[in-house]
Amino acid sequence: MKDFFSSRMQSFRHAFRGWFYVLRTQRNAWIHSAIATAVFFVGLWLNIPPRDWAVIILTAALVFSAEFLNTSIEVTVDLASPDTHPLAKIGKDVGAAAVLVAAFAAILIGLLLLGPPLWQKIIALLS
């Protein structure tokens, strides 16, 4: 049983090491983090319902997962193909496109969920 828990702890350490690597090396991860933090505080301010929180959390997880997978693709391609190669470029571009799709979806979801209550709050503040 001790080995089981020890190996689980080691798995968590590896995962957090990867997470911190992405935050340390990928500028876009910082942009995603800043926007996710802003969305979180706006959601608190608007007192959105639990179902909206669930969608926002899943959406943020999707964007971060895409960013993590894209970084994984990039470093693996760099390892396998240190020289410039058209297929390596395609692999990296497709990984970046996955992040872009997730980010655009997150923007639309944020506008759908936060837009109407935010607009009402702003109108109320201005009246």
Given the residues 29, 67, 68, 110, the one annotated as active site: 67
Structural contact between residues 85 and 27, judged by C-beta atoms closer than 8 angstroms: no
User: Catalytic residue at 74?
Assistant: no
Instruction: Assign 3-class secondary structure to 28-94.
Output: HHHHHHHHHHHHHHHHHHHCCCHHHHHHHHHHHHHHHHHHHHHHHHHHHHHHHCCCCCHHHHHHHHH
The token pair at 54 is 């669930």
> Whose CA is closest to 103, among 13, 17, 32, 44?
32
Task: Name the maximum alpha-carbon separation found in the chain.
Answer: 63
Instruction: Supply the residues annotated as catalytic.
Output: 67
